[in-house]
Amino acid sequence: MVAVKSVDASAENLPSMLPKDILRLADQEHLKRIRHTCSHVMAMAVQKLFPEAKVTIGPATENGFYYDFDRAEPFTTADLKAISKEMKRIIKWNQPLVRQEFTREEIKAAIIKLNEPYKLELLDAIPEGEIITRYTIGDPEKIENPWWDLCAGPHLATTGEINPDAFMLESVAGAYWRGDEKNAQLQRIYGTAWETPEQLEAYKAQIEEAKRRDHRKIGEDLQLFSIQKDAGGGLVFWHPRGTVMRNIIETFWKETHVQNGYELVTTPHMANLDLWKLSGHNDFYRESMFQAMEVENQFYQIKPMNCPFHILIYKDTLHSYRELPIRWGELGTVYRYERSGTMHGLMRVRGFTQDDAHIFCTEEQMSSEILGVLDLAELILSTFGFANYEVNLSTRPDKYVGSDEIWDKATDALKSALNQKGWAYQVDAGGGAFYGPKIDIKIEDAIGRRWQCSTIQVDFNLPERFDMEYVGADGNRHRPIMIHRALFGSLERFFGILTENYAGDFPLWLAPVQARLIAVNEDPAILEYAQSVAAKMQKLGLRVQVDTSGDRMAKQIRKAELEKIPVMAIIGAKEVEAESLSIRTRKYGDLGVIPTMEAIEKMLTAVKNHDWF
């Protein structure tokens, strides 16, 4: 089961949502079998209706399944309805899914007979000596030429175990074979499948709620950010209101890190290409890097990572064991190539700011340093309203650098930190990077979606490549351990998640405009009082505006509601006389008349506590 640390629900200003609760009840392992089986049923239905379609791959996904097809004609909405109807017929047929083992020669002959070229490529990718299996829909001893596909499973026992009222086909999208744009373009049909119709309805409700919370629409409506086509795709323009929020987030991040023993560094946006060759990025990460530029007969590479830069600072001085651990943090903007079809708002861009930090420590310090990162991650994420986490520990892969001994020590250090923290976790066996094991933390938002956020990675590779050293207590030179960690992941993506979590209804401390003062009429005395209150608030650091539009009060209130401003202060002659404000908030509604200085103090307290009003 997925390990989740359950604390208070995120986004306290929002009611708990029934769809989220229903979806949590689903048996995840059983869902994988349902969805994988559904993908095969869908492929069978497609080839029954469209025999010319060639199949490729069809895995289960986090919320459903998909299958890629090679077909000249595009699938239409009417086609999806016909496919869904045929799938229900196959489900009702209630045939077993039968696993069979074959020799490479036997299965190759069967594939050639079917004229399925993509299956041949998949067969060629299976390592020699590995068992080759296929799954048929229907017992091959009872049915002539049952539909089948190369597959390792697992599946349900029969198609009849799929609830015909608990799946749906969602959409069709383009996809390149094996994700390579040089290969054939395929058609990917997406679907979702659940145990019960109630879960499917909850999923549909979640999808509708997700549309309402789309950070791209909210970002446009609240004038927070934009992606300017004239400048190129995947580059974020932060508008004044979005920049206010970004600065708040950055300031909090910096102050919190300094308070927790980090020093801040700043590094360039590019470096000589030789640095990226030394780090290995030019070999292993080339496809995600922009092309190098030539300057005075030398090639420079715009940075995809901050890591080598921090290492160069480290190597500028020979360090003693007494100085370790060294913790350096940077909000460093990096640039990575993303195909135009893969970019999505703030979630996937070409230029983004990593909340990067690197810790250089001894082997003995690993566990305590990792625990410190977990504590800091919880502090920062919970401050922004995220308190439910899925934690994964990824261990040694088949191909790796470093000794087995150091891998075991690093993995034990990660486990020890998680156990000391009291967090349950799921082990992803073999899922570590080639240079070290890692911890990944996914945060759960207000509607139950999980987003990959914080990462803690132990690295043996870069210290070796860069010949990093420190002088130990024995007077000899030793290799430090390097820990990479990012808590937001990237500022842009985290901002997108944050926006969708709150649906733009940000708590007072984060809101770009915290209060709007609204005069009931254009009486000069009322307007003068509103301006004087605004001046007091601004001097104390509050972000406040006076509505000077001249619109009727009802329209001013409606405008403030549309802009999701947390606090509205209505001012009339009585408020002027009593030196008070009539307060309305988005979270608590009408609070009545409050003395002006008391209202200001309440706002300041809420900001200090990172809260709503």
Q: Which residues are catalytic?
A: 307, 336, 354, 356, 358, 438, 484
Q: Is 479 exposed, middle or buried (0-12, 13-18, 19+ CB in 10 A)?
A: middle
Whether residue 463 has a cis bond before it, omega within 30° of 0: no
User: 117-125 and 104-114 are packed helices; what angle lies between their axes, rounded to 10 degrees?
Assistant: 160
Rounded Cα gap, residues 153 and 316, in angstroms: 53
> Could you tell me if 604 and 543 are in contact, meaning their C-beta atoms sit under 8 angstroms apart?
no
Assess contact for 458 and 413: CB atoms under 8 A.
yes
Q: Which residues pair with 352 in a beta bridge?
A: 334
Here the tokens at position 450 are 């999980």
Neighbours of 154 (CB within 10 A): 14
Contact 80, 172 (CB under 8 A): yes
Whole-angstrom CA distances from 257 to 118, 250, 487 are: 51, 11, 11
Pair type for strands 544-546 and 515-519 = parallel
Give Cβ neighbours of residue 448 (< 8 Å, ≥ 6 apart).
Answer: 17, 19, 20, 23, 24, 206
Q: Which of 61, 29, 58 is nearest to 42 (CA)?
A: 58
The 3-state DSSP class for residue 125 equals helix
Q: Report the alpha-carbon distance of residue 25 to residue 46 in Å, rounded.
A: 31
Closest of 539, 157, 565, 174 to residue 340, by C-alpha: 174
Beta-strand runs (E) in 460-509: 470-471, 477-478, 481-486
Residue 495, both tokens: 């901002």
Give 325: exposed, middle or buried? Use CB within 10 Å, 0-12, 13-18, 19+.
middle
Reading the block at residue 478, the tokens are: 């030793």
If DSSP states are collapsed to H, E and C, what string results for 190-234? EEEECCCHHHHHHHHHHHHHHHHCCHHHHHHHCCCEEECHHHCCC
Do 586 and 564 contact (CB within 8 A), yes or no?
yes
Can you tell me which residue has the tokens 């006076």?
Answer: 546
Supply the DSSP symbol for 159: G
Distance between CA atoms of residues 180 and 184, nearest Å: 8
The two tokens of residue 527 are 């307007």
Find all residues with CB under 8 Å of 473, minimum gap 6, and list them. Answer: 321
Asked if 68 contacts 134 with a C-beta cutoff of 8 angstroms, the reply is no
**Minimal CA–CA distance to 440: which of 456, 427, 425?**
456
Do residues 252 and 246 make contact, with C-beta atoms less than 8 angstroms apart? no
Alpha carbons 294 and 604: distance in angstroms, whole number? 52
